[in-house]
Amino acid sequence: MTGGAGFIGSHFVEGLLAGRYPAFAEARITVLDKLTYAGNRRNLSPHPRLNLAVGDILDRPVVDGLMAAADLVVHLAAETHVDRSIAGSVEFSRTNVVGTHVLLESAARAGIRFVHVSTDEVYGSIAHGSWDEKQPLLPNSPYSASKAGADLMARAYARTHGLDVVVTRCSNNYGPRQHPEKLIPRFVLNLLRGQTVPLYGDGLNVREWLHVEDHCRALALVAERGRGGQTYNIGGGFEISNRELTQMLLDAVGADADRVASVPDRPGHDARYSLDSSKITDELGFRPRIPFAQGLAATVAWYREHPDWFTADS
C-alpha cells in the first residue's frame, strides 16, 4: 500500500488489521510512504502484520524490491491538496503522474494486480445530474489534472501491457486524522480554538461527502472483486454546499455565524461534484453505511479529544 501513513491509507490499514474486510483477514501489509508533511507515523499503530517502508514511489529500486514480495498493490500516495497545487504544482506532476507511472511499470513487469485510487475531481465540475464512469476527464486544478494524468496512464497499462489494474474515483472523504489543511479539520480546529473559519467566495460550492471508513470498505471490495481494466465511482450520495456544511460545524461546537470570515474564492473553484455510483452498487453491492450527520459528529468529537495529533502550527 502506498501512502498508508496518510489519512485514507491509515484507515485502510486499520480496517485490514482489525479484520473488517474478510477477504483480507490475514493480509500482511507493507506501507511505502515518503512521510511528507501529510504523512504521519502516529497514524499507524505497530502490528506484527504491518511493515512501514519509508521511501519515495519514484525510487525504482525500492519499488521493484517491494513489488517482488507483493500480491496486490493499493496505490494511495499522492500530493492531495488543491490549494497547494495552485501555489506550485510541479511536485504534483512528479508524485501523482510520474510516481504512479513508476509503480504501474513495476507492477506490469511483476504481473501484480493494482488498485489505483483516484478522485471525482478528474471529471471537473457538473451543474446538474451526476457523472458515470464513461464521462470525459475535464480536470480544472493542477491537482485534479495530475490525478487525471495518472488515471490515463493506468488505462494505458491495462490496454497496452494487460496489467490487472482497477481505478476508483471517490468523492470527498471526511473522518478522524485528516490533515488540518483540508476543509472539515481546518474549520473544526479553528472553531475549537476560538478562531474564525475562512469560507471561500459565496460558499455555494457543492461537494459530495463519504466517511473514510465507507471509502475503505469500498476499496476492499474493489481490491477483491473489481474487474481489471475497469473504473468504479465511489460516492457518498450526500451533497451539501460548503456554506451549509459550515453551519453544521458551527452548530456542532455551539459557535455563532460571526465566526465565519468570507475570503476570496479559490481560482478555478469547481462549483459542484456529483457521482453516479450505481456501477459499484450493482456489481459489488457497495452502499455507504455511515449517515453524514452521525459521522460528522463523531469526527468533531475526535478532533476535540485529540488536539495534539497534528503539530502546533497545524
Active site residues: 120-121, 143
Residue 117 binds to ligand NAD (criterion: CB under 6 A): yes
Shortest Å distance, C-beta 256 to ligand NAD: 28
Cell digits of residue 18? 482489525
Among 7, 24, 92, 310, binds ligand NAD (CB under 6 A): 7
Q: What is the dihedral of CA 164, 233, 153, 86, to 10 degrees?
A: -150
Encoded one letter per residue, x for contact with ligand NAD by CB under 6 A and - for no contact, window 175-214 reads: ----x-----------------------------------
Shortest Å distance, C-beta 18 to ligand NAD: 18
Encoded one letter per residue, x for contact with ligand NAD by CB under 6 A and - for no contact, window 209-228 reads: --------------------
CA distance 172 to 239: 10
| 251: Cα within 13 Å, side-chain hemisphere | 9
Q: For the chain, list the strands marked E by DSSP.
A: 29-33, 50-54, 72-75, 113-119, 165-170, 172-174, 197-200, 206-211, 231-234, 238-241, 260-263
Q: For 124-258, list the strands marked E by DSSP.
A: 165-170, 172-174, 197-200, 206-211, 231-234, 238-241
Shortest Å distance, C-beta 76 to ligand NAD: 4
CA distance 62 to 58: 9
Cell digits of residue 3? 501512502
Interface with ligand NAD by CB under 6 A: which range of 53-61, 134-142, 266-274, 287-295? 53-61
Residue 56 binds to ligand NAD (criterion: CB under 6 A): yes
Among 44, 78, 222, 284, binds ligand NAD (CB under 6 A): 78
Shortest Å distance, C-beta 97 to ligand NAD: 11
CA distance 2 to 53: 10
Among 70, 131, 147, 281, binds ligand NAD (CB under 6 A): 147
The CB density around residue 177, as the number of other CB atoms within 10 Å, is: 21
CA-based R_g, the chain, Å: 19
Residue 119 binds to ligand NAD (criterion: CB under 6 A): yes
Interface with ligand NAD by CB under 6 A: which range of 31-39, 193-201, 219-227, 277-285? 31-39
Residue 77 binds to ligand NAD (criterion: CB under 6 A): yes
DSSP β-ladder status, 50-54 and 72-75: unpaired
How does DSSP assign 69-85, residue by residue? T-SEEEE------HHHH
Shortest Å distance, C-beta 93 to ligand NAD: 12
Among 99, 180, 226, 295, binds ligand NAD (CB under 6 A): 99
The CB density around residue 158, as the number of other CB atoms within 10 Å, is: 21
Residue 95 binds to ligand NAD (criterion: CB under 6 A): yes
Cβ-proximal residue to ligand NAD, closest one:
6
Q: Which is nearer to ligand NAD, 5 or 17 (CB)?
A: 5
Q: Which is nearer to ligand NAD, 10 or 246 (CB)?
A: 10
Helix (H, G, I), strand (E, B) or coil at 182: coil
Shortest Å distance, C-beta 96 to ligand NAD: 7
| Residues binding ligand NAD (CB under 6 A) | 2-3, 5-9, 32-36, 38-39, 56-58, 76-80, 95, 99, 117, 119, 147, 170, 172-173, 179
